[in-house]
A = this chain, B = another copy of it.
Amino acid sequence: MIQQKMPRVTIWNEYRTERERDDVRKVYPDGMHQPIADYLEARHLPTRIATFDDPEHGLSQDVLDQTDVLIWWGYTVHEEVEDEIVNRVHQRVLQGMGLIALHSTHYSKIFRRLMGTSCSLNWRDIGEKERLWVVAPGHPIAEGLGEYFEIPHVEMYGEPFDIPPPDELVFVSWFSGGDIFRSGCCYYRGRGKVFYFRPGDQVYPIYYQDEVLRVIYNAVCWAAPETIQRIPSYERLQPFEAIEDYWATNHADDR
């Protein structure tokens, strides 16, 4: 609301299908990350790009240390992402970095690690219509939207979506084919905030649509940490109050 501090964003994109498939290149010639980066930059959010094929997948400790919110889009190479990098991102989230998981990222190692469930869902790709309904009208991630917005042609994701109950549920999607989906889900994990947002897929121009970009921008603002801090460690404490040590008093010899 008030502070001036601008969250530093890193967009991680697998960036494979855009280079390998004509139908995808046609839609996202510069990669799916580009229209998102353009939108955020236009709103003064310093944004950097990292991709799967960069060294360390573009996510060195140094990059993460300078990232307040990480946006992630993955699809075909989930299992090839190195565990060391996943651990690094996981630690950073627990320390306070926001994570925005887009679309097929539901099956990424990092999202499943944070959820603790299978993250499975049902799907169909016949380009049907999606109508996203706002079910948390006061939520900052819904700011600037009406009661709903539509995406004309999408790949459908349907329930059951095997995730923990969202700490805050912001969007539920209606699909022409007869399905619904919890398509905007907030989670608190450690000091970090995680937002899963369903819309996407490489063959649709969804990341050019204003409402979709607005949600991603709102989510970055919501997920941005005030401060990045250490994960609480496993510490032995002295008592705050002056109380007896039962062991010292009664069982010194047992120990």
Q: Which residues of A pack against B, CB within 8 Å?
A: 1-3, 5-7, 23, 43-45, 94, 96, 107, 113-118, 120-128, 131, 133-140, 143-144, 147-148, 153, 156, 158-162, 164-165, 167-169, 172-180, 182, 187-193, 203, 221-222, 224-227, 229, 231-241, 243-248, 250, 254-255
Contacts and interface: CB of A to CB of B under 8 A. Distances in A.
Interface centre among A2, A123, A231, A238 (most CB of B within 10 A): A2
Given A6-B2, A190-B138, A167 B169 contact: no
A189 B247 contact: no
Contact of A232 (B122, B236, B241, B250): B122
Given A114-B116, A162-B190, A241-B176, A254 B143 contact: no
A102 B114 CA distance: 22
Nearest to A91: B118
Given A240-B177, A247-B126, A172 B193 contact: no
Interface centre among A7, A136, A138, A243 (most CB of B within 10 A): A138
Given A122-B232, A139-B188, A164-B187, 18 more contacts: A2-B3, A2-B43, A2-B44, A96-B138, A121-B234, A125-B247, A128-B239, A133-B159, A134-B160, A138-B188, A138-B191, A153-B246, A156-B237, A158-B237, A159-B172, A173-B180, A176-B243, A177-B240
Nearest to A96: B138
A178 B190 CA distance: 23
Contact of A180 (B114, B172, B248): B172
B138 A177 contact: no
Nearest to A203: B254
B138 A192 contact: yes
B140 A226 contact: yes
B232 A143 contact: no
Q: Is the interface of A mostly helix, strand, loop or mixed?
A: loop
A136 B240 contact: no
Contacts of A221: 1-2
Contacts of A147: 159-160, 232
Contacts of A136: 165, 188
